[in-house]
Structure 1
Amino acid sequence: MALKSKHKVDPTFNMSSMTDVIFLLLIFFMLTSTVVDPMALPVNLPKSKSNTYSNPVIKVAITDDLQYFFNGDKVSRKVIEPMLRNEIGKTETPTVSLYIDKSVPTEHFVEIAGIATSLKAKVSIATTPDN
């Protein structure tokens, strides 16, 4: 006597649910990656009422303990000018954005801004919005 099961189990695996989950994760990571600031340095920026945004080509940061960063890489003060000269020469309309901690003495800010303007670059100061 042959017994037959009333409930047949389908041995195939449906991938559509897994594909949906992977697609949603991909969208999530794409959206959150645009929110992350690539210049995430420990710099306490001064506040400003202005909300003008520029898309800088070159980023220079000075932290409160006077460490210099050029496009996110830690460098010494001595190499800032040659690196600026090299990067400014590569672009048509160079823009240098300065991320200077508000506790840094003004002389360091003026020195870097002076170097950038002497190389014919636009200089912008990064600030946090004052709400």
Structure 2
Amino acid sequence: MAIKRNKRFHAEIPTSSLSDIMFFLFLFFLIISTLANPNVIKLTLPKAKSNETTNKDHISLSVTEDKIYYINKVQVPFEQLEQTLNDMTTAANDKVVVVRVPADNKVQDLVDLMQMGVKLKLNFVIATTK
């Protein structure tokens, strides 16, 4: 006597965990995409093999807490800063300027310098510490 089964085996793929994974991936990419394009002033950084140093000496613009401006360790008044930057970048054929501003200074001081850089079509790099 031959007994037959009424139920056949059907292959199933469990997909309940896939929806959870897709939800977490969606959240991850959503958060990363908002961090990738913040509303800040864009700075063009020089290409380097490491993110701590540059491969050559660029023009240095330093600002003290008393708003005294130095270009390559030479004091320059603010009124002559734009013309001096233009002359030095043309003479050196280097459009990259390293800006050193203390953390205590106002943001407006840095924005004023950035506006000069945009006007002269310079690439400003803000120097920081670790």
Q: TM-score range by the shorter chain?
A: 0.5 to 0.7
TM-score (norm 1): 0.55
Query: Paired residue for 1:47?
Result: none
In the alignment, is the contact (CA less than 8 A) between 1:113 and 1:123 conserved in 2?
A: yes
Deviation at 1:82, TM superposition (A): 0.5
Deviation at 1:56, TM superposition (A): 4.5
Q: Between Structure 1 and Structure 2, which shows a larger proportion of helix residues?
A: 2
Larger-Rg structure: 2
1:113 and 2:114 matched = yes
What is aligned with 2:97? 96
SS in 1 for 2:67: coil
Structure 1 partner of 2:51: 51
Q: 1:124 to 1:88 in 2, by over 3 A?
A: same
Cα deviation 1:16-68 (Å, max 9, x = unaligned): xxxxxxxxxxxxxxxxxxxxxxxxxxxxxxxxxx9342345211111112111
Compare relative contact order (CA 8 Å, sep 6+) and give the higher one, 1 or 2: 1
2 CA distance for matches of 1:120 and 1:67? 23
Task: Tell me which stretches of 4 or more aligned residues in structure 1 moved more than 6 Å.
Answer: none
Between 91-100 and 59-68, report the one with greater CA deviation: 91-100
Unaligned runs of 5+ in 1: 1-49
* Separation in 1, partners of 2:63, 2:94: 23
- Over the residues paired in the alignment, what is the CA RMSD in angstroms? 1.8
TM-score normalised to the size of structure 2? 0.55
